[in-house]
Amino acid sequence: MVSSQNGYVYTWIILIAILITGNLYLLGVNSKLPKIGKVLVPLFTLTVPLAGYGGYEAYINHIEIKDAEVDLTVYEPFKRGSKAASLEEASSFSVSGNVPRMDGATALYPVIASFVQAVYTEGDYPHDNTSQSPVAASKTDVAYVRLAKRDVDIIFAAGPSQDQKSDMKNLEMTPIGKEAFVFFVHKSNPVDSLTIEELQGIYSGKITSWNEVGGSDKEIIAFQRPEGSGSQTGLQNMMGEIPIMEPPADQQVDGMGGVIEKASDYRNYRNAIGFSYRFFATNMVDSKGIKLLKIDNVEPDTEGIQSGNYPLTGEFYAVTNGTNNPQVEPFIDWITSGQGQELIQKNRLCSDSLMEGEKK
């Protein structure tokens, strides 16, 4: 199957093959070949490069990991068999009528779906249809754009980037839980732990080989995420004032026929490193052959996050930008209460105000 992203490569292969075949004909080489050669030479000129590049692309697709591989449909509230977490008792709070419009980070959609299932009226809330559903998961960058336009009342996400902050007129951020910002590598990589300083060295481009941090003598391929995404903002926060190097990039044809570049999705080479939030990364670990790195020898597990010992623990927030919906404030109060925090814990995230297993 031809990739839409790399279709231009196949086009060039075909054009070059036609050009070579035409030159052979014009130069008279074709006439000197036996009958079978006149058929096989053009055929091999076309099929061998196509097969070679097709095999390469299949390999890349096999090792590429995209956040979209987490199927959010299975978390949609009120659906039979939904994975959205539920309370054991009826919620002490509910919304009706003009319900709060919500959006947020993809990684936090299971939490959002759990809230909806607890306090909204039963119904159909497709996560990917903003025109029909008051509840969506448009990813962090899009969610902040929608909040800036006041197309939604609340978003659930990590803190905004500086550019995203500048778009808000009445920004309010209520911390509702904690999540780990994690780095991962191929499971065969001998490196199990990195320090913050080593990570900063890698992503600034100063550390370029794994043998500089206790690994093999292989070049480090340090993947990044698109600008404005929650995880890229997490990297920027970790780097502070240290400049981030250019990411590995894919080339693709834009609508005007030019070639543009985009940050590559993480590809699980044996010498690669990538980052995300724990929700995505733990889903990847289940089937994608990666392992999470310790940071300063601390595991990114519930204990490390809740205690604050894991150094890249960050808050995630209920974020508003001014709203006329009177149900928003009591809804956020409920989220920070015992029942809301219980749902956060049931989603394998760490509550902001409660220790593990403890309730208000």
Using pLDDT thresholds of 50, 70 and 90, give the confidence band for residue 66. very low
Two tokens, residue 121:
């009226």
pTM: 0.68
For residue 324, the number of C-alpha atoms closer than 13 Å in the C-beta half-sphere is 3
The better pLDDT of the pair 251, 288 is held by 288
What is residue 283's predicted lDDT score, i.e. its pLDDT?
A: 58
What is residue 258's predicted lDDT score, i.e. its pLDDT?
A: 38
The whole-angstrom separation of Cα 258 and Cα 251 is 10
**140-168 pLDDT, tens digit each:** 899 999 999 999 999 999 899 889 999 99
pLDDT at 199 > cutoff 80: yes
The whole-angstrom separation of Cα 218 and Cα 248 is 16
Cβ-contact 220, 271 below 8 angstroms: yes
Q: Which of 28-32, 97-101, 167-171, 303-307 has the weakest average pLDDT?
A: 28-32
The whole-angstrom separation of Cα 120 and Cα 94 is 6
Using pLDDT thresholds of 50, 70 and 90, give the confidence band for residue 64. very low
Alpha helices in the chain (DSSP H): 7-26, 29-32, 35-63, 109-119, 140-148, 162-166, 196-204, 230-239, 278-287, 302-307, 328-335, 338-346
pLDDT at 14 > cutoff 70: yes
Averaged pLDDT score across all residues of the chain: 81
